[in-house]
A and B are shown apart, each in its own frame.
Chain A
Amino acid sequence: MNLTLLAEKLNLKIRCGGDRLDREVSGGYAGDLLSDVMANSKEGDVWITCQSHQNIVAVSVLKEHAGIILVLGKEPDKNTLEKASREGIPLLVTELSGFEAAGRIYNLLHP
């Protein structure tokens, strides 16, 4: 499963990194505490969060996530968007809640 397919299935909107959506999504991590995501998420995870400030990009780069999905209709602020574009981290948004997004993605990855 790659991000293009996930975006299509969940009707996610792409905010940046549209050229890197062919990355393989090996798993998912949902959480809003940066220290927790730093500690527990894995390489290749798609990170589902409602945190939109720029610090999320550094976490995602360090953990080598496949991409970030912002939930609950949150939009990345200007700095977040700039950083994510520069670092090549795909940033997608949805009006779904974190539970709903994680629930659906999990079930797409584990049919």
Chain B
Amino acid sequence: MSQKCEFSFPVEGENFDDAGKVSVEIKRLLKGLGITGDILRRTAIATYESEVNIISYAWQGTIDVRVTDDNILINIQDSGPGIIDIEQAMQQGYSTANDRIREMGFGAGMGLFNIKNCSDGFEILSEINKGTLLKILINR
């Protein structure tokens, strides 16, 4: 039977207390759909990093997850400052995080690198002072 399922979560910028809450919930929902192992893990890591990115750098955003028989497509749309140099932002170790973010254990410049590493398909579209759209595809 063909299965298709969609869910969407809002994420608030600056709300570090709740960082990861949405991703833990997404992981639980995906597990309920029978997704397990490496695919579940990679999806969870990609959504977690995306969630922390919104909290650290954007004003607000949404994480949309669409699950089909073949794949999991995650769209992360934020309204925020945007990314000036995407290529630079993709580099391992590059970060614009402030000390506050770093002392919480984030901002090591691994986020986008991690997300790409977990994805089978990946794209970033960003507009300065408007926001960023991140599309992540993970094959089942």
The reply on B87 being an interface residue by CB < 8 A is: no
The reply on B121 being an interface residue by CB < 8 A is: no
The number of chain A residues with a CB under 8 A from chain B is 8
Q: Are A52 and B93 in contact (CB under 8 A)?
A: yes
Q: Are B103 and A33 in contact (CB under 8 A)?
A: yes
Interface string of B108-120 (1 = CB under 8 A from A): 1000000000000
Interface string of A70-92 (1 = CB under 8 A from B): 00001001000000000000000
How large, as a class, is the contact surface on chain B? under 10
| Smallest CB gap from A74: residue in B | B93
Q: Are B103 and A35 in contact (CB under 8 A)?
A: yes
A53 to B102, CA, bound (A): 12
B108 / chain A contacts, CB cutoff of 8 Å: 50-51
A50 to B103, CA, bound (A): 14
Chain B positions 91-140 with a Cβ under 8 Å from a chain A Cβ: 93, 103, 108
A35 / chain B contacts, CB cutoff of 8 Å: 103
A49 to B101, CA, bound (A): 18
A51 / chain B contacts, CB cutoff of 8 Å: 108
Q: Are A77 and B93 in contact (CB under 8 A)?
A: yes
Chain B positions 64-103 with a Cβ under 8 Å from a chain A Cβ: 93, 103
User: How far apart are B93's CB and chain A's nearest CB, in angstroms?
Assistant: 6
Which B residues have a C-beta under 8 Å from some C-beta of A?
93, 103, 108
A-B contact pairs, 8 of them (CB 8 A): A33-B103, A35-B103, A50-B108, A51-B108, A52-B93, A53-B93, A74-B93, A77-B93
Which A residues have a C-beta under 8 Å from some C-beta of B?
33, 35, 50-53, 74, 77
The 8 lowest CB-CB distance pairs between A and B, nearest first, are A52-B93, A33-B103, A74-B93, A35-B103, A77-B93, A50-B108, A51-B108, A53-B93
